[in-house]
């Protein structure tokens, strides 16, 4: 990429990565909502001994029931109908999924904290951003109860509606996700 990235849109860079130029307000919004996502995902249910023993981490039991919080339920959906198989699957996969979501969100925060309006990502970092942007959209969408129907009132909120800033963020993250995918393909 010999020129600067268009402000607000991801563009391809040599080596398979992507770059975007964000202003300070955009960086602040993305940083704040990513930090909130990190808090929402939480530390998981890893037992203390799992930190010291890789085998204990591999066999650590996770939760067996879906989260009650609608945003978490959207981030950690059931793989099967609620059966013993679903509980068993969740028990062995959710902690790893939480860890990956945390690592992806931390990668976004590290890139945002690196400074400058121009953010350059390697291909691996770009994939982590895709994961976090998707998680942000899913969690915001669950909180707002967004449907795919663009005629929904949520897509046409008046400025004074308190849901409007989150809906705008939801739509912006979709644009970021789309331009990042285009830059990577």
* pLDDT beyond 80 at 79: no
Mean pLDDT highest for which of 21-35, 58-72, 84-98? Answer: 21-35
Residue 2 is predicted with a pLDDT of: 44
Q: What is the pLDDT of residues 113-151, one digit of tens each?
A: 997 789 999 999 999 999 999 999 999 999 999 987 777
What whole-number distance in Å separates Cα of residue 42 and Cα of residue 69?
13
DSSP for 107-154, please give it: HHHHHHHT-SSEEEE-HHHHHHHHHHHHHHHHHHHHHHT--S-TTSGG
The predicted structure's pLDDT at residue 5: 54
């Amino acid at each position: 990429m010999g020129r600067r990235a268009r402000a607000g849109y991801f563009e391809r860079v040599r080596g398979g990565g992507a770059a975007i130029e964000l202003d300070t307000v955009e960086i602040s919004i993305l940083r704040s909502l990513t930090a909130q996502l990190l808090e929402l995902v939480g530390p998981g249910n890893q037992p203390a001994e799992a930190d010291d023993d890789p085998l204990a981490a591999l066999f650590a039991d996770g939760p067996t029931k879906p989260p009650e919080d609608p945003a978490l339920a959207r981030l950690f959906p059931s793989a099967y109908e609620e059966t013993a198989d679903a509980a068993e699957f969740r028990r062995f996969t959710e902690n790893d999924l939480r860890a990956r979501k945390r690592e992806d969100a931390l990668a976004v925060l590290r890139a945002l904290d690196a400074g400058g309006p121009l953010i350059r990502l390697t291909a691996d970092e770009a994939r982590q951003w895709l994961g976090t942007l998707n998680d942000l959209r899913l969690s915001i969408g669950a909180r707002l109860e967004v449907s795919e129907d663009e005629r929904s009132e949520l897509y046409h909120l008046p400025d004074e509606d308190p849901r409007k800033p989150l809906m705008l963020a939801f739509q912006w993250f979709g644009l970021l996700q789309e331009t990042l995918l285009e830059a990577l393909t």
